[in-house]
Chains A and B, each alone.
Chain A
Amino acid sequence: MDGMHTDADDTWEVAGRRFRSRLIVGTGRYKDLEETGRAIEASGAEIVTVAVRRVNLSDPKAPMLQDYVDPKRYTYLPNTAGCHTAQEAVRTLRLAREAGGWNLVKLEVLGPPPFLYPDMPATFEAAEALLKDGFEVMVYCNDDPIAARRLEEMGCVAIMPLGAPIGSGLGIQNPVMIRAIVEQSRVPVLVDAGVGTASDATVAMELGCDAVLMNSAIAHARDPVRMARAMKAAVEAGRLAYLAGRMPKKYVADPSSPLTEGLIR
């Protein structure tokens, strides 16, 4: 992106949809649905990730996510969490498409615990199947520029490398690789996973990411609603700093006040 726009024009686009907020938030792991709704509202997010699961037949009147996070107000981004094969991912997202009526999806095929690292061979296979089925695929992936390029060439609409393992809160462990992917990509790049606190989100945006996706950093904060506000501010700060262009780093001092002129004697 460039710095020619005014801040009010600073939007980003994925799969033909335009968004102002550069924070995408997950809807899992909150204390309850009421807190989920309040935290998402505070985050200012326009896109929320959701999972697709069997309805609990023994409790059909249990409150549903839609009652607290209005799908007319937020773009639901269904994920493939729990899917280990291309077939499972396609089947799950076809159901999501019918439930929500859109094609924009988050593909994630995870390896085993304890790292849940992206399973890239399975991710490629699932991406191919989903693209063939007409989905617009935002893809969770490792921080490998070769893999990222291949996903873009396949037709994925956003590349979403991890900053650290899912739910770890370790922050951006791989700024060099994130930057490399940002520089080579013509589709949006988002850090997805690893953000732990506000400064991590700022770092991701300062690296030039188009947006940041997080869940646990907000949901597992002591005060999720307040952390959601912090993340909103952090993403905006990082974006502004990126557009503003940071000063060069130096390895010696460079004084801000004149050191020789006009001193009293």
Chain B
Amino acid sequence: MAGSSAGGLPAGPGFATFSAMAATIAIEVNGERREVPAPATVADLLARIGLDPRKVAVERNLEIVPRSTYATTALAAGDRLEIVHFIGGG
């Protein structure tokens, strides 16, 4: 899902993703590349995906993101995120 462009700049997949002026940034979520509108926080990303923040845990570039900081943790181009939850297991 490529983000929509803002400010009239081209922002298709794989284009302008590392530019400070880019309307979207490319990040990796659970091993999948995604474009998200910038600026964005972890909370924005969860909302965009449609996940209940109370039911998941997030790791950003191998560091845990405390739930209390989802709304203030800004995403940066190239970030690698893992979003996990509990599933059945023995």
**A contacts, CB < 8 Å to B:** 26-30, 33, 36, 49-55, 57, 60-61, 64-66, 71, 76, 78-79, 81, 91, 94-100, 166-167, 193, 214-216
Binds A, one of B2-10, B17-25, B77-85: B77-85
Q: Which of B30, B32, B56 contacts A99 (CB 8 A)?
A: B56
A/B interface sample: 20 pairs, CB < 8 A = A26-B90, A27-B87, A50-B86, A51-B88, A51-B89, A51-B90, A52-B87, A54-B30, A54-B84, A57-B29, A57-B83, A60-B51, A64-B55, A65-B86, A65-B88, A66-B55, A95-B57, A95-B84, A100-B86, A215-B90
B86 near A99 with CB under 8 A, answer yes
User: Judging by beta carbons under 8 Å apart, are A52 and B84 in contact?
Assistant: yes
Interface residues of B (CB under 8 A from A): 29-32, 49-51, 55-59, 62, 64-67, 82-90
Known contacts A57-B32, A64-B55; is A26 also within 8 Å of B89 by CB?
A: yes
Residues B86 and A78 in contact, CB atoms below 8 Å apart: yes
**Considering the chains assembled together, what is the distance between the CA atoms of A36 and B87 in angstroms?**
11
Q: Which residues of B contact A30 (CB under 8 A)?
A: 88
Number of A-B contacts (CB under 8 A): 105
B50: chain A residues at CB < 8 Å are: 60-61
Chain A's interface: helix, strand, loop or mixed, by majority? mixed
Nearest CB of chain A from residue B58's CB, rounded to whole Å: 8
Complex Cα distance, B62 from A100, in Å, reads: 18
* A166 and B88 in contact, given A66-B55, A98-B57 (Cβ under 8 angstroms): no
Neighbouring B residues of A54 by C-beta, 8 Å: 30-31, 82-84
Least CB separation from B52: chain A residue = A64
| A54→B84 CA distance, assembly (Å) | 4
Chain A: minimal CB distance from B34 (Å): 8
Q: Are B88 and A29 in contact (CB under 8 A)?
A: yes
CB-CB < 8 A to B55: which residues of A?
64, 66, 99
How far apart sit A55 and B90, CA to CA, in the bound complex (Å)? 18
Q: Is the CB of A55 within 8 A of B86?
A: no
Kindly state the separation between the CA atoms of A52 and B89 in the bound complex, as whole angstroms. 8
- Selected contact of A55 from candidates B51, B67, B88, CB within 8 Å: B51
Q: Using A55-B30, A55-B85, A98-B67 as known contacts, list a sample of 6 further A-B pairs with CB atoms less than 8 Å apart, ordered by residue number in A.
A: A50-B86, A53-B85, A54-B83, A65-B85, A78-B86, A95-B64
